[in-house]
Every structure is written in C-alpha cells, then in structure tokens.
Structure 1
C-alpha cells in the first residue's frame, strides 16, 4: 500500500533474545500468523471507504484477512513481514482505484502478488482476484487515463537507472487485469459488490480448504458425511447438537477439524475449541474456556478479559441469539465444561445453530437440554483403509508390492483393530526397515491382546534406539502438565540433543506436534514408568502424581532411581500443609530436576526441622515458596543450570561462596526477605538474573558487572536498592529493568551495543547523560513516573533503532531533543501544545 495507519503500535516495539529463549521458562511466544485473504489497495483512495467495508465484511464471516494497518509498508521496499503475508495468504485481492498506479509501493506489491501466485503449487494454489473500483478494467490493462499519467511520471523518474522496473509494473498490471474479477461499475450498489466478493471467497474457501487440509488422510470424507447427515436432519432452522464419540486415537478430533474447515463459512459466527479437557484441568480453566469461546465466536479481543460466571450473564448472550453459530468443542470430558459455555441450554443461539462435541464419554452431554442429541460413534477403519494408511507410512506407497509386505500389512491390520493412530504408530516404527526386522516385530504383535492399547503403542517406544531419546520421550509423557517452555528448559538442562530428539519423536508418530502428545501415547509413556516398580513409587524414575510424590517425600522412600519430581500443590488433596522431614531428599542422589509449583494454591510445604541436603545432581530447581532462609549448606549447586525460588522465604541463597559455573537462569522474584544476592563471580554462563519485588534487597554484588553472557537483568521494584555496580562489561545485555527502584538516582553505567529495552521508570534519575548514544541497538526506552527527570541528552538523537520512548508522568520534564535522524519514533506522555498526549514523530514532524 502507498500509506499505512500511524495509530497502531510498532510491530517491532518489543523483542526477545533468541539465544536465551531456550533457558527462560516463561517467554511470550507469538505464533506465525497465516491468512486466508490479503488486501492490496491504495490507502488514500479507498482505505476509509470500500476497503474498510470489505475488510469488515470478511471479518464478520470469520475469514482471516491481512490488511496493512501496522505500518509494515514504511520504506522504499516491501518488508519481509509484508512479503510473508503475501506468501501465506490463499486469496490475493487487488483493489485498483483512480490513483493506484501513482504509488510505486502498490505497483511493487502487484508484481510480488503475480509472481507469488505463479509459484504456488496445485495443492496450495493462490488465487488473485482483481477489483476495479471506479476504474475501467481496460484502463488498468492498457494503462490509459490516470494510469497513463502515472506511468509517464515513472518513465521519467526511472529512465536512467531502472527502466526495466517500469516494464515489470506494466506487465504485472496487464496480467492482473486479465484475470476474472469484479467491476464496481457493473455490480452496484457498493454493499452488493462487497457481499458478492465475500460470498465468492467463502464458497471457494469451503471448496479448496478441505482438500489441502486432508492431505494424507484415509476414509475421512465418508465419516464427515455421516456427521453432516446428523447435522442436517430436521428443520434447517432448528438447533442441533452432534456428539462424535469413540476411543482415543480413533480420529474424533481429525473428523471435527475437517468438518469445521468445510462448513464454518456457512454460519454467521463459528469457533473451534481444542483440547478442552486439558485446558480445564488447572485452576481457572473454565474461565479461560469461556474467554476463548468469546474471543473466537465474537471476534472481539476486548471480551478476552471476561471473568463472569456463568458466561451468559454477559451481553454476549444477546449477540449470539441473533446469529447462526457453529461451535465445535473438542475433547470434552465433563458436563461442567459444556455448562460453562452454554449453561446446558440451546436458548442462547440463533436459528440454525449447531454444536459438535468430541468425547470419549457420550454421557458428558447428559445435562444439555436438547430434545434429541445425535451421537455418531466413529467407525474404525476397514481393512482396505487400514492397509492404505499402513502402506503410506511404512512403505510410502498406496498398496503393498511384495508378498512379505502384504503379509506384514494384514498382520498389522488385524492387530490395530481399525484404530488409525495404532496403525500409524506401528507403520512409522517399521519405516525403512528390512524384511527380517519387520517380520520379527510382527511376530511380537500376536503376543499382545488386541485390546491392550498401551502395550501396543509401546512398540514404537521400544523401537527408539537412543537411550537419550527414550528418556526425553518419558519426560515429555510424564511431565506434560508443565508449561511447555518450562519443560523444554528442563530437558535442555539434562540432555544434549533435545531438538533433534523431538524431531525424531515426531517422525515416529510419538508426538503430534512439537508441543503436543496424543493422550494414548502419553498414557503409554507413563505406563512404562509405572512398570518400573508397581508397588513403590520411590523406585520409579519419574514422579508426577501428587499422591506418589507425597508418599515418597513424607515416608523417605526415595531412591537414586528418581530422575525428576513434579509437584503441583493444587493437586494435593485432604491436607492444607505438607510436612517433610530433613532427610526427604537424602537418598535421591540421581535427581536431576525438582519442580514444585503452587499455581495460586494456599497450601504449603513445611520443613520444621530444616533440610539436610538436596541432590548435587540437580540441574533444574524450581521451588516456589521455598520455606527456609537458606538452601541446605551441604548442597553443591555446581550442576545447576536453572534456579527459580519465586516468592520464597530465603534471606540469602547460601552462606559463603559457591561454585556455579553452569548456572544460566537465576530467578528470585518476590523473595521479600532477601537481603543480598551471593557473589556471582563463578557464574560465567549466567544469561538471566531476575530479582523483581525483592523489597529488602539493599545491594547487588559487584561481580554482576562481569557477567559477560548476561542477557536479561531485572531488578524491578527493589525499592531499597540504592546503587548499581558498573555494567559496562555486560556486552551481551539486551534487557535492563529498574522499574520502581525508588532510590536509584544515577543513570546506570552501561554500554552494551546489544541492549534493546531499557526501563528506568519510577526511579529518582534526574538526567539521561550523553553516554546513551552508545546504546546503538536500543528500541524501547521507558521512563514512566521519573518525576525528577529534567533533561535528556541530545545524544539520544543518534539512536537510529529507537522506536519508543515513554515519558508519561514525568512532571519536571519539559522539552525533548529535536528528532531528525530517527526515521520513525513514538513518544508517549510528552507535553505538547500545553496538554499531554501521545505523538508520532516522523522525520522531526508531529502527526
């Protein structure tokens, strides 16, 4: 586009270090967005008219649409983000208008769109749709009228150095104008034109999406059609609910996803709510489920702050009564989950609405007040379908070619009993193996009853040749309730090849994605650990059930076999406190990680007689609300990679100095009794040091100034902290947060050229010195509430990467240096024209 909105926040105003993300347990990760429609238009012609109307209509129809309102088109060339949006969009809509050709940006966009559409494959073909808004198609095709005037100017401007570029533009316009599209002069009024374009895209989406989504699936259409028949029975204006019911791995979620992709465009509002059972396991899960429903079905992010229960006390009830709604609720395990969404009633939806539920227990809808709930029990794969699925994954072909392959296929078909997940897992374990190997594996299949799914799925686990891969798989299976990035952080403290191991697990169908493992696979992994010792949990390698952890720690039955312990205090039943003996961990010599999470629980762990020791093999120690003043004196932390004692009672970590050469992350947030941080001279590899809200902390050790690998330093709200050591040697530092350090009155001595975010809000700093010019990578500079701040050095104008300065509530600050070298910067809270307001400066001019 030729122009972009300046009202939105900079898309690059916050960043995080890729080098440290593996070790930080709570990063915010933004998923890569993909779009169904990309809108290309001349901003000053149609942004606030036709384009805005079309964009609004597409959103109402739940069609993911990219429109450049985020300033991506600033500059002379198409940004990587904008080019990626073109690549990832299914439909590329070009809105030609009177002044379209006068913008070189718009012309470059058309060239990219045409080129990208030619590269797209048949299974993911991109469709270009031209819209001629108040211009004749021949004007675009032949470049007459205003297009001729624009190109005459381009010919003069590019005559000497880039004349070929003009010809590329002309060819691209001719190709685009020759495509089938829409003409505003023949389709009137404008509302009709918008409606027809949206309807056309919706129909094409419903036509093409299932085929691309269903690549590699077997027998899916037959099963989808059975669900469609149930949804269509009775009057089209009736409310109808269909339950997709069956055992784990039978394909319930797969059918539901494919169904949603085919029919969601036929409803005024729609949403797919995945993994409901998992989402609602934690405290507050039902509220998050309600929030997710509101966000998806209404398309309004403001509803994501909803905290009401029941949901229908919120005005969303009245909104939905006027709409036909499709809601697909995946993996429902309890009636309360549907009650939280719909209060057991269909009265909240408009005529023609449909609810689809996938579940292992068809009784979960027993509370739903619908006269006739339709249940579809998922059909197992027949022999032909099973054979086709097996051959695709085992031999990369549709049918067996040799006799031994036929025999192998038939044996697996009998064993799997029509369960597609079981077929896929076995096939993947045999992929690339020779006849003898496969024959031996098949002979073992007959020794296990067909109903014993856990043992069946263990075949793939036993096929893992690397012991480290097996351990990583068991950790993922047993500790899957941990936050994903915490779990990955744990794995990377204990193993060398985590990423490649996960890639192998994906290839062997032991994981569905990098972040998700199928329920049946997870239960199989946990059963492997259970089989290590059925009678005594203390002799197993991993403990994740609260009752097993409590048994081991209160009875001192731990052994060196235990590698990991995870205890979520919200899972502790029938007791308000857990009292441990001093010797609770004495025998657990092999323990590599210990994770104790309170998750808002009021229950506590008491150590009335202290703690003799912790295992010296610990790599990862996360113990929220640790109850003692010190870590055990006998504990040697030299193997620790991550230490997190958030909200603990520690006054100092340990007495004297300790060797901590492997420590990468140290988190002491909310340790309100903490007086001092120990000497960190030996922590040469420390990347993250966070001690937020340590209200009694008076000083930090000078050794912090020598942590060359430190990436993030967070001392926010340490109100008694008065001084900082020199930070000039922290050459890797990317983020420094001193928010709320009320007694800090001197700008920190820092010169890291990698520093991207600096927050000194609420400090007593009165001046930002000229040394700030050395922070060449600085993007965000926050000074909110610096009420003693009077001056910022003119050197700040040299920071060409700076995108945001926040000066809200800086009552003594009166004038900001003149900006001329920084292309685009936002300054918030700056006094301008005698009243506070946020302004955008572009090349020194306020807009």
Structure 2
C-alpha cells in the first residue's frame, strides 16, 4: 500500500476503540505467553484489550466485553490446549467470527501448544471438550461453537511450535510486527475523519518526516494559536505511532512544565515510551541522563506540544544521541525562533483555512449537518469572514451558536464585531503575554495603527519611538502574531481583535484613558469635548470617505504624551493651536492651517507628513528640528517656499511632489548631507534650483514634470550614491558636463524634454548607467559619438526623437538588451535606390550588428520599405521580440529573419503593404499581424510547435484563400495539444464562424450561461476554450490580462464560475480590452483558452470543485458598442 495515500482517513472507516482484542484461555497462558505478548504489543504502541483476570470467573460474557470485541480492529486468538473447555472462550470466538463477517474485523489465530488440524477438526483434547459441551448445551449452540472454531482454524495464522524453532520471544516479536503491518498507517484514522482541511497538511508533514528512512529527525509545526497545530500533530501521531518501538504525545508542555515541573514531564515521557510505572525522577538533569541511557537504542516517536522555551526542549529532547535510529521528534510551537535556535531541521507552517474549509468546519459545529438553513446563510458568512479561517474560532463560535434562534444569532454576530469570544481571546493572548515590554508596544501599535502598511514605512515610524523595530518585528513574525506579505505587515483579524481588546481593557473601556485611539466613535468625542489625557500615546483616524470632523484648537492640549498622530479623509475646518511636544510622527492629510503652531517645538519630531495640506509656510519662527528625518508636503498646492534646511541636518527624505506654487528651493538644501531622496515631481512653477549641489548621500532625484526648469545644477563633487535621475518633461536644453560626477547613476530619464538638443559628450564616463530614456525628445538629432563606451547600458529608449544616424560605436554595447527607435522617421531620410525605385532605410544597420545581447528591438513607424534593414536582421542572434508595426515593406526576406533562432514574438500591426509572411524560426510563439489589409498568403503555421498567439484580425484578403479555414482548424488543434506547455493560447482571424468543436454555442447575444455537469472537474481538466464573433469592432489585445484595472477600460470579456453553497461564492477571470478604433467590415473571430489557474483566485482545496454543481457565465461586451458581439462558444478542455 502507498504510505502517503494510506495515511489519509477514509470517510467510510469504522470507529475502532482498540487495535487488538486478545482472546485466550487464562489458566493456560495468561501469566506466561499472553503477558509477554501484551507487553510486546504495548511497546509498539498497539492499543490492546486484555480482559481482567477476575472477569473470566463469571459464567457469562458481559455486554462491556462484547462491546470491546466489536470495537477492536483485529482479534488475536491464542489457541491453547484448554481453550475449547471454556464456554467463555467459545462465546468470545463466536462473537469474533460474527464481527469478522459483518464488520470486516481482522482475525489472526495463534496456535500456542496445539496443532492447527486438531483445532480445525476438533479432535483429541478439543474433541473431548465438545463431547462434554454436547451433554450440557443445546445442539444449535454447540454447532455455532464448532462452526466458529473451524472457520477460525482455517485462517492463516501463527503455528508457534513450528515458527522460529519455538522460541517464544522471537515469535512474539514477529506477531507484534505482523499486527503493526496489518494496522498500517490507518490506525485511529477515525479520529481524523471529520477534520476539515487536514488532508493536505498530513501529506506534506508525512513527506517531511521521511518515515522509513534512517537517522533521528526533528520537525517543527509552526503557527498562530488556534490554527490546528496540536490537531495535526495528534492525527499524524495516531497514524504512524505503531511504526515505532515507543511513542509519547506530551501535550501542553508550556502549561504543564510551569505547573508540574519538567521532572514530571520526563517521568511521563519515559513511562509511556518504556511502558513502565512508578518511575521517579528527582531533577531534570537526572531525567535527561535517564532518557539518554534508556532511549538511545530505541526507535521513538515523540510529540512535544505547545513548547515555548528552549529549556523545555533541552530537558525533553536535548540531543539526537538520546534517541535510536529512525526516531522522529515533532515540536508544535508559536515561536519560530525557538525552532531555529534548537536547529530544527524542517519547519512546517500551518495556514488558516480557506473559505470553503471554514464553511465546512463551521457547519459541523453550528448545524451538525451539511449546510445551514437558508435564513442563516448570510449570518454564517459574516462569522466566517470575521474568523478569517481560524479553526479554533470556527469551532468555538459554531458550538456556541448551535441550536440558537435567529435573533440570538444576529445578536452574537453584532457582539463579535465589538468583543471577541472570551475562550478565543484567552488562547490567543498566550502569545502576547510571552513578549518583552517593547515587543508588546510594537504589537499593539501594529494592531491599532499599522495593519496592512508597508513594513519599511512602519519600521521608520517605530524607530522614531525608539522601539527597536527591526528585531521587534522579527520576533512578532517568529511568534506568528504578524506576517509579511508582499512587503506589507498583515495581521489576522482575531489577533488584531485581541490587541484592541488589550488596549481597551487597560483603559477599562474609557477612551480617554486608552493609550491608543483608532476608532472614529472613540476619537471624535474625545477631540470635540477636549477629553484627551496624558494616557493617550497614539491616535489614528482613517475614514473611508472624506468626512467633516469638528474640534477646537486646544483639542490636543492635555495629550502631553502623544507620540503618533495620523488623520486621513478627515476634513477639519480649524487647525490646532497646540500640538504636543512629544510628537515623534505627525501624518495629517489635508492639514488645515497655513503653518504649524508657533508653540510647537518639534524637537522630538522624526516624521512630518502633511500631504494635500493648506500650508503656505511650515513655521514662522526658527525651530530646532535636529531629529527630523522624513518630510512629505506633496500636493500642498499653496506652499510657496521651503523651510530653512539648516535646522534639519538629519533629513533623509524630502518629498514636495505637486507643490505647484513652489517657485524655488532654499539654497540651504545643498547642506543636507544625509538626504537620500529628493522628489520635486510636477512642481510646475519651479524655475530654479541651487546652482550647485553636493548631496553625497542622495540616491534618487526626481524632477519629472518641472516644466519651467531650464537648467540643471552643476555637480561639484562626486555623488557616487545617486542611482536614479528623473528629469522627464522639463525644459532642459542639455545637461552640464559635470554630470560625469554621477559615477554611480544607473537610470537617467529625459523623456519628453522637448527642448533637449544634445547629450553631453562626458556621459560616456557613466560606467554604471543601465537605462537611458530620451523618448519624445523631439529636438534631439544625434546621440553622442562615444555612446558605445557606456559598457553597462542595457536599455536605450529613443522613441519619437529626431535622431537620423546611429553612431558607429553603438556596436560596442555588448550588454544592450532593449532598443526602441519607434517613430524615428528621420532615420529613413537617407535614401538608397532600389530596383523598384522605392525608399529604403539608409541607416548603416551594421552599426547594430554587434549587439549580441539585444533581446527586444522596436523599429515600428520608422517608414521602413523593402530591403535595407530587413536584409540585415540576422545579425541579432539573441533577439526574442521584434516590432515592425506601421511600416511600408511588402515582404520580409526569409534568409534574414530565419537566422533569428531565438525569436519568439513578431509584431507587424498595420503594415498595409505586406503581402506575405516568410518562413519564420521554429522558436516563434506569437505573430501579431492585424490590420495587414494586403496580406494574402502565410506560411503553414502548424510547423511552429511553440506558437500560442496569432492575430490576423482584419486581414480579410486571407479569407479568400481556400486553405484559410483548414489552417485555422489545424492550428487550433495544435494549440490545444500543446496546452501542457502553455497555460493559454489565442487565435484571432478574419471571418465569423464558431468551429464545430465547441460544445456550447449562442448566437446573437453578448452573454451565455452554462450549467456544468457534476463531474466536470477532474485531475485532467485544463480550462475553458472560448470563441467570440465580433461584428464592426474587433479585439485589440490578446490574452487574459486584467487591463481594465490598469487602463480603466470597460470593454472586457468575463468568465464567472458560481457554486451555490452556503456562501454562494463566485470566482471569475477577465481579459481584454476588446474594443478597436477601426470598423471591422467583415467581422472577426477570437478563439482563446483560459486556463483554470491563479487568475481565478481558486480555493486551495480542489475538492471544492469536485462533484458539485457549477454554473459558468460567459460574457463579452463593450459599453459603447452594444451590438459588437454576434456569437459565443465555450468548450471544457481536458488533457488528452
């Protein structure tokens, strides 16, 4: 049997209370063979029932004993000489054989000192016993005994005298191993039968444990309180313990070690593994030595549950040498650092349940049936949303709500939003109480103010409070109190609730006394009535929509210890007359005053963020702002002057983006030796900067959109740290030669500098420059002759410039990967004659031949005709993407393009004179040739095995080709067969026809709905292939991209998949846009495949989709062209 699959419990499995029931004649074997066999079974952690000696003296078997037989998975029958003399034994045997035939109980006979044929044929001493029974009992009863005995004796078993030469110890060991093998890994599987979401966890942990391999291995199961660590460990333990010579599950180590001492836990551990009683350990050192001595040759399974201190691990599983080969030690904990410090080899992090699993678990406890009744569906969804997949909370709340009426449910759900259930809080708070004081403060700040915020930003704020957040945040992560997801700090809803509860409890639910205020209903009364106190340390008012908040100028007067203040979307008419001097971080969007209060010293201020403020001048009097590191006044459109930066010597980040009234920057800025970021983006009235800058620590300088800025400062000294320089859309006519002092710069962006005429010749000295963008610089005619000396250059963007030559040195750019010359019409001004007298792009293309790393080349809209450049493309051996849109050639030389052996994407959109396509490299994956209105013939596309995107939209000359339809069918078939390599494909062709292959079709409609069969989701399911017929308007962009989110486009294709269960969940994906600016004339057909994958936001448990009724909704619409779509088709696609 496959061990991994057998690990999983079957939903049909019978609930067994015992692994083995021992049936034997007491006076023959109780104190000899059976006692030793019982011990051997116990040592292998096989749960065995052996009746008490006193029981056998009765005449009849008790109901309890009968139940024990029924509840045992295996019956082990010890046939001895006097077995048949006991009617008790015969009654047991009859019941055992009944359970075998009715319940599938496994029967294993052991022939101790009798021959199997003697038992089977009931002769000799067994025959004598039955002669006596026939004289005393009715015939039908005796016949049942005889039949049971004969059936049992015919089962293959153990003939002790003929096994291992009759050595009982060896036979007992073999019997125990046989029983262990029969039990396999399904032992106690009934315990896991109703455990929701455990299947995937069990398989992963089982693999990590490496059962069956040698060595001693430690595995940590990590997760927040209530996530199911103990449950998982228990299920794993129950399923594999029989494969070890000894096993022990020490639960609640944290609590029990504090209450009972580590010595008591050592006693329990050794007693269970060694199957001994009355073990006495005087101190933990003695216990450790005893463990090492007694267990070092024993294959042991040990679970240490809820460990929170290294001393516990040292006392209970100090070293690998304590345990025998093949041993496994599982540790459950909320503290990752504990596992790291203990050098645990493997760590498995438990995740919360997904929505589907949450619903199943909640229903088990709240309804005791498969689904909630209709009136409770919405309430169930609210509970599940609040618990955020935490199993403990789902069980507690489900059990609490079980059997209650609708009104009680509504009341409890409302209460949950304010106060979490006490049982849940008590469990969760264990992690908080184990934190140091500073870590507790960090946690409470995050719970109240910073959930979902960027880790780097939060770290800066917490540093201003001297909280040591680098190590503090790490500890909170290790304790499973927070997680970092895509650079942001996230906190489980119930963990956050716990933090809120702690803050309120400390203040006895009086907002005036709260150290932290974050709820509107608490903050507004405190401010409006001037009820603040010195207990208030932090306040964050973040409103969903802009809302007026009224309070007086002295609202903060009593909050003398306020260190953090943040307002969002709070429209305040009157500015503060007083701000606490203890403020370390002030973040007030829309700050209403013209300046900060004169009384505010600001000497403790580290962060000042007043975006969209009405500030004209920050302060009117001189300030000592020596601690200020971060200043952001962006979008403060009334700001006319910057402050004197000589009072902010430690400033690191200065953001003045879109301060549109700002005319100049105070010259003192040049002395900010610690400044890292300077952002003056879109300060459109800024005319001048200091003539010289020497900001040696500056890394990013943004002047984009400073449209009146005509000159760039001289760089007096080396600025090695500057990595990014953004000067786009300014009025600069050039850069100073001293730009060469920016020796570390990697990005220079000069895009859309309409007055830029040239680049300084000294630019070639910038050896670190990787990206140079001069796109849209319409007066730029030449690139520097020494451009090729920029050895690190990887991206060069010259789109829509006046460049007319390519410098010969460009061939030296061995690292250049992307080159864009889109719209550089001047490159074609040099004309060389051709046989047809047509223009030819005369630029010396050999100047590009050395670009051995070039991956992407854009020559679109360059007025390229036949010949010239097209003949020399083959030099670019690394090219993967070639864009030739909007040019005037009629063909592409096959000899040239076929040499591009790595080419994947070829774009020829709008090449109106193009008549045919040549043979392309076999590496090609995408051809985009829509609006090539003269295109009449194409190569056989099925010869390209990697091809997954094809667009010939509006190429209506192709329809006249008789091979067009067969080509589409063949290509579609090839794309489907290649789905194992690609997650999607797209095919856009002229004409309006839904191929016969599509199962579901709809005509004259923009949407369709399909009820999927119950068995639609199988392991071979690959997704949906869809077909859309467009009339008048055509699709523009291929593939399943959420472009509407990026560009705000409304014309989309949608696929929605609905399952009507208790939560009425819906998953969907979309792609597009599908609109075009040109009428399509004869119409076009889109065929594309939508893989059933990540874009759908699928449930982790794929059982969610199996054997359930789903409805697929498919729609294609354009909000401006209601009659665009003329037909739809869908087919479910499976492997093979």
Q: TM-score, normalised by structure 2?
A: 0.37
- Greater gyration radius: 2
Q: TM-score, normalised by structure 1?
A: 0.48
Higher RCO (Cα < 8 Å, 6 or more apart): 1
